[in-house]
Amino acid sequence: MYSIVSTAIVCGIQSVLIQVEADVCDGMPAFEMVGVLSSEVKEARERVKAAVRNSGIRLAPKKVTINLYPADIRKTGTGFDLPIALAVLAAHGRIPPERLEGILFAGEISLNGEVRAAGGILPMVLAAKEEGKRTVCVPRGNVKEAELVKGMTILPADNLNQVIAVTEEFARFPERFQRSNSIEETGQDVPCSDSDFAGIHGQKVLKRACEIAAAGRHNMLMAGAPGAGKTMAARAAATILPPMTEEEALELARIYSVSGRFGQRENNFRTRPFRSPHHTITAAGLAGGGAVPKPGELSLAHKGILFLDELTEFKREALETLRQPLEEKMIRLVRSSGVYRYPADIMLIGAMNPCSCGYYPDRTRCSCSAAVIDRHLNKLSRPLLDRIDLTVEVKRLPLAEILSREPEESSKVIRERVQQAQKVQNRRFMGSGILYNSQIPASCMGEFCSLEPEAEKTLQDAFERLELSVRGYYRTVRVARTIADLEHSKPICRTHIVESLIYRGLDRKLWEL
């Protein structure tokens, strides 16, 4: 007897539908599986046999052949256990095959028949919807993940017997399983109580730079002495980012689903991510990879902030992996099994000390030699610095300013200005595929970045005097465009260009120390 069951496999953050065929016939008892399978998929044979037996289902000894197609895709992961078990039961006549039609099944099965949560359920459900299916059966631990996809009927189960029962009930009473699917509305509050600009005294230049960076989604680098407030400012920057749209939230949830970290996004779908990996992270940890490729920190910070504290302590190999994603907003991993693409549209914030001890250029406290300082700064390549739009020197505050009781602007007030600036950008770029000023291509500069004559002359003079690269020239204009938006100015004025150049001055200064 023959049966077929639908499932899916994750490739990058996308998913491809897979058909599980089962053929049961008389002959020497055997359980064969074909279809370009990884070791964990082949091991499903033993898990399925034990799960069926321990679920109280007795099957006559037969020759069982399982085929997973398309055959040109390598099948990996443990989510094939459930569809294989159901295909075998249907082929044995224990489940009517027509009951399984139109339903996508995914999940791992334990030896006692328990159905366990599997990774990548969200992209599988999305793939099922794209292929015209409207029903999925998943482990109960994956239900919240599957419910993010609108218009899908979710059949939850805890064990193999429940799967059989729930499919039978659905065939008879489908209206019992109708529910509304949508991403929960959650506020964009501060991630933790002390991450608010109201708690940062002074540092007006630093706060201004954070506001500009958030408004235009620009990359930013902070350099200064230890304890000057760099880390606090980076965490506060996350609180002035507007909440994500439903489309952005769903894309990010898909990434976390594939990486097996969906629980981290379960209760804060709208909040933009803030990732702060330790400086010992490898290049693969940042970009992603592994035997079965998984998203790295760059992708986990998609549409949010990737904060690299102690930037000069990161391995240079790891830092250099940032160069291409900062330009293309995408990670491409080429493996023998295929090409994996992960989104990486991040706002990079880096923090560093200007020397090994952290006190340069204060020679009363810094004893680092010129060679030590040079070696410290050379960990950051010029091409990487060229991709950073704003650089800010963070100075230690005098005690009187730290103890000042004057009220500071809260993150909520600053976020309102950021949202207004982004609304201006949305109207400007409508229909162009561009979202933020930091993404304006060089070919569109004339259209979106009109400069007043004085501003253009100032920029031309600075290009020669500061020896800006072509990339640095265009990034200066993009930052000036954001400054103009914050000040509700249509053309870019000379003052906007001057302020933008000030934020590019530090990276030049770092190389001239």
Task: Work out the angle at residue 456's Cα, subtended by the Cα atoms of residues 450 and 457, and round it to the nearest 5 degrees.
Answer: 165
Q: What is the pLDDT of residue 12?
A: 84
Helix, strand or coil, per DSSP, at residue 390: strand
Report the topology of domain 197-512: Rossmann fold (3.40.50)
Domain boundaries, the chain: 2-177, 197-512
Alpha-carbon separation of residue 39 from 34, 75, 258, 340, 413 (angstroms):
12, 9, 19, 20, 55
Q: What is the pLDDT of residue 213?
A: 96
Closest to 303 (Cα-Cα) out of 272, 259, 337, 261: 272
Mean residue pLDDT across the chain = 88
- pTM surpassing 0.75? yes
DSSP secondary structure string for all residues of 133-176: --EEEEEGGGHHHHTTSTT-EEEEESBHHHHHHHHHHHHH-GGG
Q: What is the pLDDT of residue 511?
A: 42
Q: Are 240 and 409 in contact (CB under 8 A)?
A: no
d(C-alpha 87, C-alpha 288), whole Å: 34
Taken in order 6, 14, 241, 429, the sign of the CA dihedral is negative
Instruction: State both tokens at 472.
Output: 């640095």
Task: Work out the angle at residue 42's Cα, subtended by the Cα atoms of residues 37 and 48, and round it to the nearest 5 degrees.
Answer: 135
d(C-alpha 297, C-alpha 287), whole Å: 7
Q: Are 336 and 293 in contact (CB under 8 A)?
A: no
What burial class does residue 192 get, using C-beta atoms within 10 Å of its C-beta: 0-12 exposed, 13-18 middle, 19+ buried?
Answer: exposed
**DSSP conformation class of 286:** H
- Give the residues of the chain that fall short of pLDDT 70: 179-194, 337, 402, 505-513
Q: What is the pLDDT of residue 190?
A: 41
The pLDDT tens digits for 321-348 are 999 999 999 998 887 767 889 999 999 9
**CATH number, domain 2-177, options 3.30.465.10, 3.30.230.10, 1.10.10.10, 2.40.50.140:** 3.30.230.10
Q: Are 289 and 296 in contact (CB under 8 A)?
A: yes
